[in-house]
Amino acid sequence: MSLPLPPVAEDLRCPSQRRFPEATPFPGLEGRHPCFSLTPEGHGRAGRLHLPVSPACNITCRFCQRDFNRDEIRPGVARKLVAPEQAVAVVTRALDLSPDISVVGIAGPGDTLCTDHALRAFTAIHAAFPDLLLCLSTNGLRLADRAEALHAAGVGTVTVTVNAVDPAIQAEISPTITDQGRRFEGLAAATRLIERQLAGIRAVAALGAVIKINMVLIPGLNDTHVERVAATVAEAGASLINLIPLLPGADFLTRRAPTAAEVSAAQAAAGRHLTVFSHCRRCRADACGIPGKTDLSAAVYGAEAGQDSTFSHG
């Protein structure tokens, strides 16, 4: 049975959706959190810091290509890994360089809940900087298990990547997962992942987090599935959705990116159920500064990519 969903603050509602969770433990996201600000002005006002502390992932996505470098601007890329014990020092350095940073997020380069690294970092940051917004991005496989711990660590905004709620479609995108020490493949993996994602969204919604959904838009695979995804995650407690155009790569190198018209149509379909976030710049896992305006990641993390960084899949 789904948990009851408390009301949301009016500024996060869209006209067609009235069952969002309450806004956030932190008052006001517009202009303070660029990834949850609904206007271009708000998106371009606040600084954010991404901490690349998560070294592993527990699912495989066929479009995903993790890497350590200093050049590519896309998710899953960072100069190097940062140990959780270094998090407070990194935040201190970033705030010295950019006092307009109001949110610290962890979005990789692996999944943030596959290991305990992100939780350890958030706990230390929340103790040292209680006024900062804390944000997490995850595939959702372990979100329900970690909901209480995230809440205790001060995480008030959560982004969950949900690319399908039909196992047949999901299996084409993420063919394997590793959960509780077991490997699952195909439809079994997809079914388990979707169930865990929805359970996780319900769990963090019940604790008062604001939830955004990232959905990678893949023409010919999930582009006609957008409205069903939006309706399903809205019912579970999500408030916003971000349709991310596919960046062809890895196993999906030969697939094309969606056109502007296809993205617009997908946003319209999703907007029948959720507020649509449309300012995403597909930031790196070590981004720092105001999106589209300042880039301080080299100063914070060092100009060179780390040579001893490793990444684990499962």
The mean-pLDDT minimum among 26-30, 124-128, 195-199, 255-259 falls in 26-30
Residue ranges making up the domain that contains 77:
30-287
More confident residue, 294 or 211: 211
Select, from the ranges 63-72, 105-114, 286-295, the one with the highest average predicted confidence (pLDDT): 105-114
Nearest to 138 by CA among 213, 241, 218: 213
Q: Could you tell me if residue 152 is inside a domain?
A: yes
Looking at residue 23, its pLDDT comes to 36
Block residue for tokens 């140990």: 83
Looking at residue 67, its pLDDT comes to 63
Looking at residue 22, its pLDDT comes to 37
202-206-210-212 Cα dihedral, nearest 10 degrees: 0
Looking at residue 28, its pLDDT comes to 77
Q: Could you tell me if residue 153 is inside a domain?
A: yes
Which pTM does this prediction carry?
Answer: 0.84
Write the pLDDT tens digit of every residue in 167-216: 999 999 999 999 999 999 999 999 999 999 999 999 999 999 999 999 99
Angle, CA of 163, 164 and 165, to the nearest 5° = 140
Looking at residue 27, its pLDDT comes to 46
State the CATH number of the domain containing residue 238.
Answer: 3.20.20.70
Q: Could you tell me if residue 19 is inside a domain?
A: no
d(CA 56, CA 151): 22
Band (69; pLDDT cuts 50, 70, 90): low
Write the pLDDT tens digit of every residue in 75-116: 767 778 999 999 999 999 999 998 888 899 998 899 999 999
Looking at residue 37, its pLDDT comes to 59
Which string of DSSP letters, residue by residue, matches 141-182? TTHHHHHHHHHHTTEEEEEEE---SSHHHHHHH--EEEETTE
Looking at residue 74, its pLDDT comes to 66
Band (307; pLDDT cuts 50, 70, 90): very low
Does residue 4 have a pLDDT over 60? Answer: no
CB-CB contact of 50 with 288 (8 Å): yes
The backbone region for 33, taken as left when phi is positive above 0, alpha when psi lies in -120 to 50, beta otherwise, is beta
Q: Could you tell me if residue 304 is inside a domain?
A: no
Q: Could you tell me if residue 68 is inside a domain?
A: yes
Nearest to 144 by CA among 105, 169, 179, 109: 179
Longest dimension (CA), the chain: 50
Q: What is the DSSP letter of 193?
A: H
Please give the tally of structural domains in the chain: 1
Write the pLDDT tens digit of every residue in 14-60: 333 333 333 333 347 756 767 765 655 555 567 889 999 999 999 99
Q: Could you tell me if residue 134 is inside a domain?
A: yes
Specify the DSSP element, H or E, that contains 214: strand 210-217
Mean of pLDDT values over 57-71: 82
Mean of pLDDT values over 267-273: 96
Q: Could you tell me if residue 11 is inside a domain?
A: no
Write the pLDDT tens digit of every residue in 136-154: 999 999 999 999 999 999 9
Mean of pLDDT values over 255-284: 90
Q: Could you tell me if residue 306 is inside a domain?
A: no
Looking at residue 9, its pLDDT comes to 34
More confident residue, 311 or 216: 216
The backbone region for 154, taken as left when phi is positive above 0, alpha when psi lies in -120 to 50, beta otherwise, is left
